[in-house]
Amino acid sequence: MVEKSLILIKPDAMERGLSGEIIKRIEEEGLTLIGIKMLHMDMALAEKHYAPHKDKPFFKSLTGYISSAPIVAAVFEGEGAVDLIRKIMGTTDPAKAAEGTIRGDLGIDIEHNSIHGSDSAETAKKEIELFFQKDELFSF
Ligand code: IDP
Ligand code: MG
């Protein structure tokens, strides 16, 4: 199935100049970049985006972190985009993520793990609507 998925390039990656490297790794796997912007998330947007984690002990720290510096939000489209991006990202904790994955190669720790990626097609739809208007997404 052709799907869309949202990624966020997190502050730890932005601060180290890794946005191009991360986008390149996803494009190289055959997915198409159809929307991109740079923004500084405020706490309200951070709390909406991470609402599924609102009862977790790390929620306050996570929302503070994601809103601590400018980030890049991007939408990729392609066959199986959601699962493919999860695979390219690697597992949540960089210490456990495989070599060759974004988190395994570039992540710092379980919170500062360089990239967010949608975890299902339904979540992707909701997340994309939080960050992008319809006319900010393109097709080729
Ligand atoms: P995911 O990003 O791989 O989908 P989730 O479990 O959905 O992982 O967690 C969302 C984000 O919350 C993670 O990417 C990471 O930044 C942060 N996070 C997850 N678990 C922990 C933790 O145990 N301590 C601190 N931050 C965490
Ligand atoms: Mg998640």
3-state DSSP call for residue 5?
A: strand
Q: How confident is the model at residue 6 (pLDDT cuts 50, 70, 90)?
A: very high
Q: What would the mean pLDDT of 8-15 be, rounded to a whole number?
A: 99
Q: What would the mean pLDDT of 45-60 be, rounded to a whole number?
A: 98
Ligand 2 centroid to Cα of residue 117, in Å, is 7
Ligand 2 centroid to Cα of residue 46, in Å, is 13
The pLDDT value recorded for residue 136 is 98
Which tens digits make up the pLDDT trace of 66-111? 999 999 999 999 999 999 999 999 999 999 999 999 999 999 999 9
Angstrom distance (rounded) from CA 111 to CA 66? 9
The atom of ligand 1 lying closest to the CA of 92 is 3
The pLDDT value recorded for residue 23 is 99
Ligand 2 centroid to Cα of residue 34, in Å, is 22
Angstrom distance (rounded) from CA 104 to CA 93? 8
Q: Which residues contact 24 (CB under 8 A, 6 or more apart)?
A: none
Instruction: Indicate the top mutation candidate among 5, 93, 110 to test ligand 1's pocket, ranked by most ligand atoms within 8 A of CB.
Output: 110
- Determine whether the shortest distance from the Cβ of 105 to ligand 1 is under 6 A: no
Alpha-carbon distances of 80 from 16, 30, 103, 119, rounded to whole Å: 29, 11, 20, 12
In the block, residue with structure tokens 């970049």: 33
Overall pTM > 0.95: yes
Percent of the chain at pLDDT exceeding 70: 100
The pLDDT value recorded for residue 135 is 98
Alpha-carbon distances of 95 from 20, 56, 87, 90, 119, rounded to whole Å: 23, 21, 16, 10, 20
